[in-house]
Chains A and B, each alone.
Chain A
Amino acid sequence: MARILAVSGNEAVAEALRQVNPDVCAAYPITPQTELMQRFASFVSDGIVDTELILVESEHSAMSTCIGASAGGGRVVTATSSQGLALMWEMLYIASGLRLPIVMPVVNRSLSAPINIHCDHSDAMGARDSGWIQLWSENAQEAYDNTLQAFRIAEHMDIRLPVIVCMDGFIIGHSIQRIEYLEDEEVKKFVGEFKPLNPLLDIDNPKSYGPLILPDLYHEYKRAQHEVMTKVKDIVLDVAEEFEKIGGRRYGLFEAYRLDDAETALVILNSAAGTSKDVIDEFRERGIMAGLLKPRLFRPFPYEEVANALKHLKAICVLDRADSFGGYGPLFMEVSSALYQVRERPRMINKIYGLGGRDYLPQHAEQVLSELVEIAKTDKVEIIKEYIGVRE
């Protein structure tokens, strides 16, 4: 029996961590992740979980501690946002290079300067190339479900890679939403007992982590790391199928919303997808064939599947809540790469929206969808990349 409650996204993810009861958590507070870890710290101090909570002096130390604990042979979590994730940067690559299955919710927030505590996706997009798997979540329910599934994906014996679970700071992290929790016993059974692989604390079999690898083998290690990423999407789907049996909610590599018979579509991550879907419903009522694709697995990016889902469209707009200054938005680059490989492909535009917590409103989706209708009609793109919701 599911428990139905009204909680914030941070609270929902903290509850997932309570149910998983990891061995070690090393964390440092940062807005908007603070509430998540504060709630989890309460579980620790109330003796509700057995987790060893290590309070550290920075996120660099948090990730370093997680790496040590994970190599030691424990089930390890942390959580962060924004500058915190940026400060972890060099350690992120070490966690993935050492193939350590750490799970890290990231409550998305913009990056300085200028300093800003509100939502955009610059933090997680900065970790795009770090070798971490990334799952993105539209709402608290998805963040909760993705967090539980992240343990199964990370710890899968064919994978053993760290996983980031993204949700929008404040918009989801601090907003109260309806959520269905699984029972503790169901979660315990679903995530299963943690199976260590080559743990340092197995002192009868001493081993070394982190040797120097010179030009004679480094290239090969990176090739092997690429290979394991190619196996991730199948396992993400397997885990999602198993999750559906207990949670009743279906997950894939992405959500395709009214896409099959659509002529135009938006591609958009996280909470703004919810707003967009409402607007798409309105356009449909007016007889305009609009749809939406919301990526869930962003790393590894499922290029073929995304291309197949979008190739029949006339025009699409990829909306990015992060910019690559002097380049296109990061999601646009992925979708462009995916579609370049098919001969007949839609016209594409890129809109940058919602930086630093700027609201994404239904009128923004309407504006973009109307532009797509025009592009579909004329087959002409005037401006490829443009900011929306910006004051002139």
Chain B
Amino acid sequence: MKTKGWRELMQGAVILEAGNAVEFKTGSWRAFRPVWIEENCIQCLFCWLYCPDMAIKVKDGKRAEYNYDYCKGCGICALECPGKKGQKAIVMVEESR
């Protein structure tokens, strides 16, 4: 997206379209990436509940893959994940690896 020049701005910085936060992608902030390990997932959806953004996708009531466009790597999902038999279903991996 081309950044606007000063003549093209909405006066007073008023946002006229509701719900446009979806256009603001924050995934590039991430230093650690959460990785979902499906075989350890008990489908509690704690990760979906606790995610402060919209990075956890749910399909047909079941946990689906991450939407990394909105994941800042905060790690809350990994912390809250109860896992299965002591094995976490979400682990944080350094982004550079």
Contact = CB atoms under 8 A, between A and B. Distances in A.
The secondary-structure label for the interface of chain B is loop
B9 interface: yes
Contacts, number: 50
A207 B15 contact: yes
A367 interface: no
B6 A220 contact: yes
B12 A99 contact: yes
Contact of B15 (A97, A211, A223): A211
B11 A228 contact: yes
Contacts of A224: 6-7, 9, 11
A160 B16 CA distance: 17
B61 interface: no
Contacts of B13: 97-98, 209-211, 213, 221
A209 B9 contact: no
Given A97-B13, A100-B12, A160-B12, A223 B18 contact: no
Given A216-B3, A217-B4, A205 B9 contact: no
Contacts of A219: 6
B14 interface: yes
A206 interface: yes
Contacts of B14: 98, 198, 207-209
B86 interface: no
A211 B7 CA distance: 18
Nearest to B11: A99
A221 B18 contact: no
Interface string B1-34: 0011111010111111110000000000000000
A271 B4 CA distance: 46
A97 B5 CA distance: 17
Interface of B: 3-7, 9, 11-18
Given A97-B12, A220-B5, 4 more contacts: A98-B13, A198-B14, A221-B6, A224-B9
Interface of A: 97-100, 160, 198, 205-211, 213, 216-217, 219-221, 223-224, 227-228
